[in-house]
Homo-oligomer: A and B are copies of this chain.
Amino acid sequence: MPIRDLAIGFDADDTLWHNENIFEHVHVRYRTLLSRFHDADTVDRTLFATEMRNLERYGYGVKGFTLSAIETAIELSAGQISADEIRQILQLGQDMLAHPVELLDGVADVIGPLASAHRLLLITKGDLRDQERKLSKSGLSVHFSHIEIVSEKDPTTYERILRRHGVAPQRFLMVGNSLKSDILPVLALGGSAAYVPYAITWGAEKVDTLPKAEGRFFQLASVRDVPALAQILATS
């Protein structure tokens, strides 16, 4: 069977490199910082509510998270939090931005060979500079023909990206850990999607049920399974 052109899109955070575990670790430090005011549950719940309220305003990423964390700390302490404790929250944010990039298992092995066989696109949301920095630290840029850092991953965004690069949705496979951002919008356009769950999923990305799209939706245990899937799709 002839191999037909297949373009593969990769999400970045928690698909190519660890991210949510860094946030988890920061949450632990944040709860400790506020423990004299409230229990961990209340801290988590209030911070998440602040993040959701500010999402339209701040978008995704570390800077918006840090601003929301400061706002929440002031609210939960009824203004009793000290300047030094707020400085520690600023530091949490800066530590996240300076964190080394740790590739997920298998990524270093499969991305190079995949790039030799298919056109790879990186499609990620978050802070522009932070995502660029992580990509640069990852050493993976060379394998991607296009880098798209977007403010939201919905069908309109994917449609625009695919049109820009002349990719038919039927010849596009998106790989990612978020059903909401990586999988559902691509399936809605008629593309294929490989869902590779990460150990932790951020509340705002949670979706209750798996999508049904026969022959176009695939759940994989590891990014190591992507090359075999890509070969099947490329020859089908």
Contacts and interface: CB of A to CB of B under 8 A. Distances in A.
Interface stretch (A11-19, A77-85, A106-114, A177-185): A77-85
Interface in A61-100: 63-64, 66-67, 70-71, 73-74, 77, 79-84, 86-87, 90, 93-94, 97-98
A63 B58 contact: yes
B84 A82 contact: no
Contacts of A128: 59, 127-128, 149-151
A98 B73 CA distance: 23
A36 interface: no
User: Number of contact residues on A: which range applies?
Assistant: 20 to 34
Nearest to A150: B128
A154 interface: no
Contacts of A129: 58-59, 151
23 contacts: A58-B63, A58-B129, A59-B127, A59-B128, A59-B129, A63-B64, A63-B67, A63-B127, A66-B67, A67-B93, A70-B70, A70-B90, A71-B90, A73-B83, A74-B90, A77-B83, A79-B84, A79-B87, A80-B83, A82-B83, A86-B86, A128-B128, A128-B149
A57 interface: yes
Contacts of A5: none
A77 B82 CA distance: 12
Interface string A193-215: 00000000000000000000000
A82 B98 CA distance: 28
A132 interface: yes
Contacts of A90: 67, 70-71, 74
A149 to B, nearest CB: 7
A98 B130 CA distance: 23
A194 to B, nearest CB: 26
Contacts of A94: 57
A8 to B, nearest CB: 20
Contact of A82 (B59, B73, B79, B97): B79
Of listed A57, A71, A84, A130, residue having the most chain B CB within 10 A: A57
B67 A74 contact: no
Given A58-B63, A71-B90, A74-B83, 5 more contacts: A67-B93, A70-B70, A81-B83, A86-B86, A127-B127
